[in-house]
Structure 1
Amino acid sequence: MKYINAAAVLPASLVEELQNYIQSGYLYVPAREDQHRAWGERNGGREKLRKRNKDILDAWQNGVSMETLADQYCLSIHAIRKIIYQK
């Protein structure tokens, strides 16, 4: 997330009003509901994890051990187990 100086993008009157509530700190401005996206939707991270998890499950169903999968995907056996047994 990139920080932006409020004085650079907001009218002076609004900056003065905000200063009544917060002084020289960070203020998070959430996206509007119609602009909100779930984690990983924008950069494809969610889809990459879904594919990785499917590949792990397929390999396990074809006889690859959890230990081998953990080594191959640099995950703990506990993480592999959660992927395999998720509903």
Structure 2
Amino acid sequence: MNYINATKILPEYLIKELQEYVQGDYLYIPVKEGKHKEWGELSGCKAAILTRNKEIIMEYQNGITVDELSEKYFLSTHAIRKILYQK
């Protein structure tokens, strides 16, 4: 989460109004309904995991065993199987 100085983005009248309720503290402003991003979208983690999972599936289809994939990707055999058998 990034903090933004209110004086850089809000009009002065709005800052004065907000100061009636809070001064010198952090104020969280929630995202509008329907504008939330899913986990990992901003950081790129979701895309990286999806790419990794596709590689695991492709390597398995090319003959790499579950145990070998487990060692290569530092995941348990159970986690590899979940990736392989997901719908």
State the superposition RMSD in angstroms: 3.1
1:59 aligns with 2:59: yes
For 2:86 and 2:56, the matched residues in 1 are separated by 12
Alpha-carbon distance, 1:30 to partner: 6.2
Deviations 1:8-65 (A, max 9, x none): xxxxxxxxxxxxxxxxxxx9x56654x4110010011110000000000000000000
Aligned-partner residue type, residue 48 of structure 2: K
- Superposition misfits of 4+ residues, deviation over 3 angstroms: 29-33
Q: Which runs of 5+ in 1 are unaligned?
A: 3-26
TM-score by length of structure 2 reads 0.64
Matches within 5 A, 1:1-87: 33=34, 35-87=35-87
Structure with greater helix percent: 1
- Across the two proteins, how many residue pairs are aligned to each other? 86
Q: Which runs of 5+ in 2 are unaligned?
A: 3-27
